[in-house]
Amino acid sequence: MEPVFPTFAASRPYTAFKQEMTRIGLFLPKETVEDLSALSRYFNDLLNNPKSDFGRMFWKTWAVKNDGIKRYKSNRINYKFKQMMKVFGEIKKNVKVHKLPMWRTHFTCQNCGKRCYPDKFDRWYFDDQYNYFCNCEIVDCESKIGCIERDLSNNKQAIIDKKRELRLQLLRLDERMELLVEKEKKMKTIRHIEKMKPAFENMKQNGHYKATRDQATRALKDMEKYDAWFQRERRNANYKAPLGGAALGGGR
Ligand SMILES: [Zn+2]
């Protein structure tokens, strides 16, 4: 019931306020509209009473605008209820995504500490010849939702662990790569030998002391060993001459 105002002018601020709040309310989430602390108790009741003309119009517009609910011709449609059903339907759909197979609903009863299977008749649990299973009339075990939530959290943890492991692998690969780059760099120093040779040759010829000259001679000999390491074409120690060839029996 609308408040009664002595004059039309007196009712105007109220009407204006109501209209503005309605417009604003259309952009607010349902929870906020349902408990608008800016409004008087009277107006809140009016707004949230889907049977009042005002409430019905408001929720119709709100539901059509915000939830894509169909606009019905009938005046008797309770749009707030329709909207609530739609939200409930969505929640059901969200939960249904997680199919909890029946075998996953074996739990441990917190009352007796035994395995329980409360949601479905099972002869093994019923007969329970060896007193293995929970026989409490009311079990106390993980709920289905609890189980789904634990699954989700476990899966998340598995991914976090996997990521950490891969990051460590990546670090190890980086280290190995650095070592290889270092080795490669060091390997390249072998090519300096060729450029060093004339200096050693010079030392061998003109060294002031005999000891120096001998050292240079030995070093040059050492260097020659590496010459072969650069050669692509070299004698094959495992060469076998074709049979009937001139090198019969010899082969060296
Ligand atoms: Zn039990």
The pTM for the full model equals 0.51
pLDDT for 245 = 57
pLDDT for 49 = 76
pLDDT for 1 = 56
**Residue 127 burial class via C-beta count within 10 angstroms: exposed 0-12, middle 13-18, buried 19 and up:** exposed
Alpha-carbon span 225 to 214, nearest angstrom: 17
Q: Measured in angstroms, how far is the CA atom of residue 143 from the centroid of ligand 1?
A: 14
Q: Measured in angstroms, how far is the CA atom of residue 157 from the centroid of ligand 1?
A: 30
What single DSSP character describes residue 185? H
Q: Is 231 helix (H, G, I), strand (E, B) or coil?
A: coil
Pair 185, 177: CB distance under 8 Å: no
Q: What one-letter code names the amino acid at 28?
A: L
pLDDT for 73 = 76
What single DSSP character describes residue 22? H
Angle, alpha carbons 113-114-120 (nearest 5°): 130
**Of 67, 53, 145, which Cα lies nearest the Cα of 100?**
145
Q: Measured in angstroms, how far is the CA atom of residue 127 from the centroid of ligand 1?
A: 15
Q: Measured in angstroms, how far is the CA atom of residue 140 from the centroid of ligand 1?
A: 7
Alpha-carbon span 69 to 80, nearest angstrom: 10
pLDDT for 251 = 47
Q: Measured in angstroms, how far is the CA atom of residue 108 from the centroid of ligand 1?
A: 8
Half-sphere exposure of 204 (CA within 13 A, CB side): 12
Enumerate the domain spans of the chain: 8-83, 103-185, 186-229
Provide the strand spans (E) within the chain.
107-108, 115-116
Pair 34, 48: CB distance under 8 Å: yes
pLDDT for 15 = 79
Query: Which distant-in-sequence residues (6+ apart) come within 8 Å of 98 by Cβ?
Result: 148, 151, 152
CA max distance for the chain: 135
Place of tokens 């739609």: 86
Q: Measured in angstroms, how far is the CA atom of residue 154 from the centroid of ligand 1?
A: 26
pLDDT means over runs of 10, the chain (252 residues): 77 78 77 71 73 78 80 77 86 84 87 92 92 94 90 95 97 97 93 89 91 93 87 91 65 48
Q: Measured in angstroms, how far is the CA atom of residue 148 from the centroid of ligand 1?
A: 21
